[in-house]
Structure 1
């Protein structure tokens, strides 16, 4: 719902709209023939419903995995700026550094700076810094790697959030992807995760924003 109002939506739990439900159904149809060994999702309601909807459409998994919810798969935490107008929040973060919009912050200083600037601007400093953010996200991949039921070559469903997906692309994608286009709600991105390697080398992007 916050997307409709152009408000920051990280750890806050606004509900899926009818469009959001349709996005989940579309993703479910696209992935219906994929046999998933395991499924993980953010513990926000919108992610949990999306995971349940995708798995309900699935005809290939036997048995059908139960999605495991965990806070490590959440979107970035925007702290004091949760639910606030995006333009106003990014102005507060970037203007002291001479960048008045989110895109300008990223273009001039990088995606990591957008998190650090918002953390700095947050009067409570609850918005995640870049370091805090990646420590949590890497914890999510550690949870997947520790699952004894998942083996080399298995397909695993992970439901997270748009800015987290974009952040993974900025960090791990090879050249050639247009990252000025944000991932669409309900889109599918495929990532290979080699659990034998350290996390900085373990992820490689196969396809983005399908």
Structure 2
């Protein structure tokens, strides 16, 4: 059984983050704080030997990955692999909208008005279903669509023929995706109401297609 050590990093802060806009497949550049945060994360991981590096194909994830690799002491020869499978959840016609307005619309049928209320009453899987129903065009990913895509990202990593047992892999991901992984694979040990910080590191182990969460939001 091949076990891979995944260092899953949430991308650096973007302008959509500070503008409180939903940012799934849509994109916004890193802020200066986001760039510096990626540098700090890179310095924290500077002595980890990465055998491979992956990110979603959004520029915020790619830029974060490249900054971290630049700070790494042994990343020479590591080529960043990007994939749409690793993107954040797709929010359909709500992409780029004010988050507070969107969650009000999603929660309205249940007399809920904030994302906090929603996560205190529903799983993230259920919230995806509610969002697709609330999306006027119904383009937002439901839970099945989301996981069918994301699982292909982990299959891509697991099937890399150049990776060997106990290799370290850098993976630049997104806030709701990291929370969703915690919900699905964390065995209830982590509080999914606590969002990962931009630039934070969550350690996971990938073995035979199964994920184990080692630590969160470090």
TM-score under structure 2 normalisation? 0.90
Structure 1 match to 2:48: 34
| Alignment length (residue pairs) | 204
For residues 10 and 90 of structure 1, what CA distance do their matches in structure 2 show?
Answer: 14
Q: Which has the higher contact order (CA 8 A, sep 6+)?
A: 2
For residues 180 and 93 of structure 1, what CA distance do their matches in structure 2 show?
Answer: 17
For residues 77 and 197 of structure 2, what CA distance do their matches in structure 1 show?
Answer: 26
Structure 1 match to 2:162: 149
Matched, 1:59 2:67: no
Provide structure 1 residue ranges, at least 5 long, that are not aligned to the other structure: none
Structure 2 match to 1:163: 176
Structure 1 match to 2:139: 126
Matched, 1:17 2:17: no
Matched, 1:207 2:209: no
CA contact (8 A) 2:112 2:118 kept: yes
For residues 96 and 144 of structure 1, what CA distance do their matches in structure 2 show?
Answer: 40
Q: 2:194 aligns with which of 171, 181, 193?
A: 181
Post-superposition, which runs of at least 4 consecutive aligned residues in structure 1 deviate over 3 A?
none
Cα RMSD, aligned residues only: 1.2
TM-score under structure 1 normalisation? 0.93
The within-5 A match list for 1:82-97 is 82-97=95-110
- The alignment partner of 1:190 has SS state of strand
1:126-185: per-residue Cα shift (whole Å, max 9, x none)?
111111111111010010011100111100111011110111111111344333221000
Structure 1 match to 2:6: none
Provide structure 2 residue ranges, at least 5 long, that are not aligned to the other structure: 1-14
